[in-house]
Chains A and B, each alone.
Chain A
Amino acid sequence: MTTANDAALTGLSLQAASLELQAGAISSRQLTEACLARIAATDGRVGAFLAVTGERALQQADRSDRRRAAGGALGPLDGVPLAVKDLFLTRGVPTTAGSRILEGFVPPYDATAVTRLEAAGAVLLGKLNLDEFAMGSSNEHSAYRPCRNPWDLTRTPGGSSGGSAAALSARQCFGTLGTDTGGSIRLPASFCGVVGLKPTYGRVSRYGVIAFASSLDQPGPLGRTTWDVAALLGAIAGPDPHDLTCAARPADDYLAALEGGARGLRIGVPREWFGGGLQPEVEARVREALTTYQRLGATLVEISLPHSRYGIAAYYLIATAEASANLARYDGVRFGLRAPGVRALQELYSESREQGFGAEPKRRIMLGTYALSAGYHDAYYLRAQKVRTLIRRDFDAAFGRCDVVAGPVAPGPAFKLGERTGDPLQMYLADIFTITCNLAALPGLSVPCGLARGLPVGLQLVGRPFDEATLLKAARALERELGPAPVPAALEAAP
């Protein structure tokens, strides 16, 4: 039973909840109980969680309350209920990657990002739904249950971090972690009306994050406000000796830079991101946001990213090639599903993989194996890596004339469940505007910029390497103008 008081609590931003805790107005236990009640009341319809660890969360909450009572509170995340995508390893808590092949798998260690959230005193409510192995743009490739968009339960929340965005939009928790390989944080953030940040490649450790495409994967935060995302990024970013692809430079103070405003900011507007399949209502919201920036003292600069159109093609060769190698470890030998009754080793591999993987990982393993196979490597994988260089050079040239690049996150708002599952290529095209940012290893963010046909639209901002602070500052300037993102009404109607 959700009470009016619970609803007031779960509707707070992370920042507001944190201030209430610091003021002693509420306890972490109260906040955690309110979130658990909200999850119990709404998640049967939303499907954001694959597992809720209520008892563990309440223990963490009580420890936080005791710390605070003793004068030893840790910082803005202490006692705040959060949740992470079920791609992050959590010691002692089952981790599935949304796949049957990891059903029942209990990690023996924590992902670095999880360790850091817990060291900051955060309460972890559970594991969030996703496309299997983070492969998808709608969360429909989850092997366990679909996740629905709290704005319209007949639509997808976007993917692959669908649960990470839907849980925030549904007021089930105050912040989440997702991962972004081709748009998997920004697309769901856009579809669900929350803020999502894909950091620069190497800004956040990938240690303990189940690998999909190692040169593209990057963990990052989602929140209901830019402040919330800045606080979360500050907690998880920074060097990690466990990940040699994690940058050595320390994290910035993202909260200190947040209120800097947009005056003097040079915003690059790539002409290639405003053509083709971009829906008029989405374009209108994005153009309005750009006009708002001008009013705030920013300058718009027309730029060109001529190789953007090759992004999807390059991505689906590189990402699948790397995935085919990363997913080779699921062979039924050391962990995960083992096909029963098998008498020969080769059969053990192929039977276990046949039974454990869903259609999308199989499709990508096939494509990646083909692209890397003898006689095809140079024509596909190597050529795609060269195109990746050209895409990065486009951005490097643009950043000589602007500080951030702005455009749409996706061609349209959230699409209907089932609309694209039969046509993988159509599904892949949902990532057409987000994918170049991953290929160029740059930071990218989605911030709500209004509604199209009653559904949220996100503005995408892409920044220079390791310049997350400018992205957050720019997003904050827009957020201050537009006010808090509206609350979806669909969930409040009778079930």
Chain B
Amino acid sequence: MALTLDEVRRVAALARLKLSEEEERLFAEQLSAILDHVRELETLDVTGVPPMTHALAEGEAVALRPDALVPGLSPEEALGNAPAREGTCFKVPRIIE
């Protein structure tokens, strides 16, 4: 199944990836090959089979903790890796013109 360059660009936009023309061509080719491989799933009859939506078996999960206040990160810790900040906020380029 060949993925077109337009489809690659559409998916890259959804994923917020800016690809070079070289990457677009490479991914079109490589993702087409991978999608060809995964198509073998279509040969299986999965009628009536429930999807496995949880990896942890039922009954193994931890009970929810009491809804009590517990200490979290301080604002300084939370902002410690911010590429840009102003006061106790993360700073980003203007959003609203």
Contacts and interface: CB of A to CB of B under 8 A. Distances in A.
B2 interface: no
B20 to A, nearest CB: 8
B46 A338 contact: no
Given A334-B82, A370-B11, A389-B52, A310 B73 contact: no
Nearest to A249: B60
A349 B16 contact: yes
Contacts of B65: 241
A354 B21 CA distance: 13
A351 B18 contact: yes
A426 to B, nearest CB: 10
A345 B93 CA distance: 6
A353 B16 contact: yes
B68 to A, nearest CB: 11
Contact of B18 (A106, A239, A243, A353): A353
A332 B57 CA distance: 36
Contact of A245 (B52, B53, B55, B77): B55
A336 B81 contact: yes
A201 B56 contact: yes
Contacts, number: 171
Contact of B49 (A390, A439, A465): A390
Contacts of B64: 244
B38 interface: yes
Nearest to A247: B60
A240 B63 CA distance: 11
A103 to B, nearest CB: 11
A294 interface: no
Interface in A367-400: 367, 369-370, 373, 380, 382-390, 392
Contacts of A474: none
B69 interface: no
A389 B51 contact: yes
Interface stretch (A49-57, A263-271, A312-320): A312-320
A350 B50 CA distance: 37
Main SS at interface, chain B: loop
Interface residues of B, number: 54
Contact of A108 (B15, B55, B57, B78): B78
Nearest to B14: A369
B16 A346 contact: yes
A246 B37 CA distance: 33
A366 B31 CA distance: 8
Contacts of A331: 16
Nearest to A213: B55
Given A245-B61, A344-B93, A351-B18, A384 B41 contact: yes
A357 B18 CA distance: 11
Interface string B84-97: 10000010111100
B31 A310 contact: no
A340 to B, nearest CB: 9
Interface residues of A, number: 75
Contacts of A383: 41-42, 46
Contacts of A314: 38, 41
A337 to B, nearest CB: 8
A106 B81 contact: yes
B27 A366 contact: yes
Given A348-B93, A389-B51, A365 B46 contact: no
Contact of B34 (A332, A365, A425): A425
Given A106-B81, A370-B31, A387-B41, A247 B15 contact: no
Contacts of A216: 55
Given A363-B31, A366-B17, A388-B51, A425 B60 contact: no
B30 interface: yes
B80 to A, nearest CB: 6
B89 to A, nearest CB: 11
Contact of B30 (A215, A347, A363): A363
A335 interface: yes
A406 B16 CA distance: 43
Contacts of B31: 363, 366-367, 370
A196 B65 CA distance: 33
Contacts of A336: 81, 83
A362 B92 contact: no
A469 interface: no
A350 B18 contact: yes
Contact of A313 (B7, B14, B37): B37
Contact of B61 (A247, A324, A380): A247
A490 interface: no
25 contacts: A106-B80, A216-B55, A243-B62, A245-B55, A247-B62, A309-B40, A310-B41, A312-B37, A314-B38, A328-B16, A338-B83, A342-B93, A344-B94, A345-B92, A348-B92, A350-B16, A353-B16, A353-B17, A365-B15, A366-B15, A367-B35, A370-B11, A373-B11, A386-B49, A389-B50
Given A239-B62, A241-B62, A316-B37, 9 more contacts: A105-B81, A202-B56, A215-B55, A244-B62, A246-B62, A328-B16, A357-B17, A385-B53, A389-B52
The 6 A-B residue pairs with the shortest CB-CB distance in the complex, in nearest-first order: A385-B51, A338-B83, A335-B81, A350-B18, A108-B77, A386-B46
